[in-house]
Amino acid sequence: MINWTQIDTVLLDMDGTLLDLNFDNYFWLEYLPQRFSEEKNMSSEQAKAFIYEKYQKVEGTLQWYSTTYWTEVLGINVVALKHEVRHLVTELPFCHEFLDELKMAEKDIVMVTNAHHDSLNLKMDITGLAHKFDKLITVHEFSLPKEDIACWSEVQKLHPFDCQRTLLVDDNLNVLKSAEQYGIANLLAVYQPDSKAPKKDVEHFQAIHSFQDILPILKSEKVS
């Protein structure tokens, strides 16, 4: 599926790619509405209806991913609530093995996430994955979500890469489409970003069930 000798840089999403999206789905769809209903003295049905309507208005934008935005809009400390269920943050299968093999093969390993700094820091603290990367990038640094093609030029400014010798792995199909438009040559989707949800339709993209599908990893061929 991947000719590793032709790959120098690996761009990796966080939620739903390295980490189980079940945490995020549970938090945003169940736990936050539940705690919001308790704080605002409304029924769980009313809370869900109110919050889901807010979600729909900003889906796919930078606000959608911003804990600061949701704290302001909902009047509830979203970061503190995430800490209440932090025990649910887990890695997807073969996450550590994959990152370790990338390092041994001397690949350039970069996380590019839409997650807010607060979420990134929380999850890196829990998983201890940060030291496995050459660079951690949250797009809030330049206020463009990965769904926007212009995001990738900003990523490239922060951490230069050769599009033809770069692999992006991401569970978000709209992100993969923007990267495809930008010219990143090697793209992989994830069949099951949420371990408790069914396998998803990945459209025309190649995809993995787990990182085991693309192991072992070989060193890149030297480019003259």
- Residue 5: the pLDDT is 96
> What tens digit of pLDDT does each residue of 34-85 get?
999 999 999 999 999 999 999 999 998 999 999 999 999 999 999 999 999 9
Point out which residues pair with 187 in neighbouring strands.
Answer: 168
- Claim: this prediction has a pTM higher than 0.85: yes
Please report the pLDDT score of residue 1 as a whole number. 83
pLDDT at 60: 87
Three-state secondary structure call for residue 139: helix
Domain map of the chain by residue range? 4-20+90-214, 23-87
The per-residue pLDDT for 223 is 58
The residues pairing with 135 across neighbouring beta strands, listed in sequence order, are: 110
CATH architecture of 4-20+90-214: 3-Layer(aba) Sandwich (3.40)
Question: CB of 179 within 8 A of CB of 154?
Answer: no
pLDDT under 50 in the chain at which residues?
224
Kindly state the tokens that stand for 208.
């993995």
Helix residue ranges per DSSP H, 105-159: 117-127, 150-158
Residue with tokens 């994830």: 190
Tell me what pLDDT residue 224 has: 47
